[in-house]
Amino acid sequence: MKIFWTKKFILSTIVIAFFYIAITVYLMNVSLVKDTLFSAYSLEYKYNLMTSLFWGMWTSMSRPSLALLFIISFLTGLNVSLIVKRIFILRSFGKINFVVGGSSLLGIISSGCASCGLSVIAFLGLGGAIAYLPFYGIELSFIAILLLLVSFYFLVKDTAKICKKNGGVCLI
């Protein structure tokens, strides 16, 4: 399918992946970010601190954690870009069901964020169970990658089916 090689699709995937990485880095330091943004510091100081915090991820995270973060962010970018593209395709054919599209988007975002999954596990009362996992929770990242790959496969398959039914015209 030519849908993946459009400049708009590639750019949106990269932008979403970048924002995913930024949000993850800032969520790891949420109290510092909150105190910085909502205090009386100058804009220059806030900008310098936030950029230093973002680029400091190279020293604050291990190489395997960074690799997993980049893989998950790229797959999240692909999935979200494809969902948005699919919504536009379905809307152009007049066959959109927003409840399904919205729940798919929510599912991908929640499965793409391994640290977000930790809060769900803690809410269910299983937070201490992470300490008993053999790799101390890094398994959640591999599960997220697997779920994102499965989601991407089915999105591509269903989008190709929709395009084929409607004469193969899916570039918007």
pLDDT digits (tens, 9 = 90+) for 125-171: 656 666 666 766 677 778 888 888 888 888 888 877 777 776 665 65
Give the model confidence (pLDDT) of 26-67 as tens digits.
Answer: 888 888 889 888 988 899 999 998 999 888 888 878 888 888
Handedness of CA 102, 105, 108, 113 (dihedral sign): negative
pLDDT at site 160:
78
pLDDT band at 18 (very low <50, low <70, confident <90, very high): very high
pLDDT at 14 over 90: yes
Q: What does the alpha-carbon distance between residue 17 and residue 113 come to, in Å, rounded to a whole number?
A: 12
Neighbour tally for 149: CB within 10 Å: 14
pLDDT band at 86 (very low <50, low <70, confident <90, very high): confident
Average pLDDT over residues 98-115: 47
pLDDT at 79 over 70: yes
Q: pTM surpassing 0.85?
A: no
Residue 85, H or E segment: helix 63-93
